[in-house]
Structure 1
């Protein structure tokens, strides 16, 4: 699917749409349904007001209903988007089964298994715009049951809300490799280092050092997904020692940068 698509124009409570883009720069939007975006090929960057996620192939992002978000990809990307109308009282899908397992209540990255990936591909072939028949309902219900139990993936970064901390976060996002220490970054943002450290801990749940490292790792995923070498990526995100970069990457994602996208 390459043309603009409005999921809110479809009355069906649960459906899946397959998409393929040469590149993607989707404007900010908020859907009335929850949305699971699975990346089959390429690397997808997703932003909300509260966070950033970089989603590589084989991973997915669950976005809570009515959450303002935008999508970006600099390279070809293939996606499956599962849209789900949520019953606010139960936390489960409003259809097909009201007694289903509650779905995630917070936006976050997930690790789909092979069954979920196969179900998404099959569901994307179902027609939209009218109630599903019984086989389609069963397929969608199995998919929802599986999604409800998917494990989380460490592919996100909470974004500070305070404007002073945001100035620091934006500066580092624009250039993750810069070597300025917190005192220098804070001074440029018009705040003391002590206040900046407190704001990051309070608003992101991480120390400034942890937050900066995660930012660099997510930037590395974007560069690696574009086909850049491990050495080049290490330098671009602020590591002069490639071995240190590989060790930090492996600790965070469970594999080396060279093998992660294989």
Structure 2
């Protein structure tokens, strides 16, 4: 995966990159001097920062502020369309967040990706970039993420759950993995993430299920793949979390 230092930014507010990555590709933790919008026009990515973890299906992108370290993993083959954005466009609350990519925003991202890095700021290309930035800056944050702890022992557990959301280990086993007593582990986990381990794992499972459903998995397959014992249990949890059943969720 190319870094901004590989590109000619030459004072353009947005420079885009298109690339293809195989299943299992991992871009280890790094950061950019520019804001990065990571968008896969096909495929599913996982993005993990020091604060948050995300699962990104094609209907969403992740806004990564400048200098924020992040690791990107490709669940399957990924068609990456990424934007490097001038840091002056940082939002008032510069946190990583999910952006819904509707029809217009997708078209703008794909169009800008085809521009050279020296596009005409005063002509049609510059106008399209301005519209793209307006749409991005006006887009609401989507609350689909799982907060990451800072304690390395807890991070070890969270990364294991992210990589294997169907893992059925109980609290005692997770505490053992962290090298902590059950009581210390549960207290530290809630203090650092704001939720208990079971709820955190549930959040990860639902995010993973969203990505599976968005790429064509049926409800039963998605439910079993993320660790639910039945489709009915998964549907009940999905309804409580998102307010609609999986079959009525708009991807």
Shift of 1:130: 6.2
| Aligned match of 1:37 | 38
Q: Report the alpha carbon displacement of residue 148 of structure 1 after superposing the two structures with TM.
A: 0.9
CA distance in 1, matches of 2:79, 2:244: 23
The alpha-carbon deviation at position 13 of structure 1 amounts to: 3.4
Output aligned runs, 1:207-226, within 5 Å.
207-224=196-213
CA contact (8 A) 1:103 1:148 kept: no
TM-score normalised by length of structure 1:
0.80
Asked if 1 retains the 8 angstrom alpha-carbon contact of 2:119 and 2:125, the reply is no
Aligned to 2:76: 75
2:178 to 183, 189, 193: 189
Give the Å deviation of 1:85.
1.4
Q: Please state if 1:10 is matched with 2:12.
A: no
SS in structure 2 at match of 1:40: strand
Match of 2:127 among 138, 141, 146: 138
Partner of 1:50: 51
Gaps of 5+ in 1: 94-101
Distance in structure 2 (CA, Å) of the matches to 1:189 and 1:6: 33
Shift of 1:227: 5.2
* Separation in structure 2 between the aligned mates of residue 103 and residue 43 of structure 1, nearest angstrom: 28
Q: Which runs of 5+ in 2 are unaligned?
A: none
Deviates more, 1:164-173 or 1:252-261: 252-261
Given the superposition, is the C-alpha separation of residues 128 and 29 from structure 1 closer, same or farther in structure 2, using an over 3 Å criterion? Answer: same
Report how far residue 79 of structure 1 moved. Answer: 2.9
Distance 1:103 1:137 in 2: 24
Number of equivalent positions? 247
* From 118, 128, 137, the counterpart of 2:117: 128
SS of the residue 1:200 aligns to: helix
* 2:67 alignment partner, SS class: coil
Query: Following the alignment from structure 2 to structure 1, what is the Cα–Cα distance between the partners of residues 127 and 145?
Result: 32
Paired position in structure 2 for 1:153: 142
TM-score (norm 2): 0.83
Q: Is the 8 A contact 2:27 2:72 kept in 1?
A: yes
Report the CA distance between 1:202 and its aligned residue: 2.3
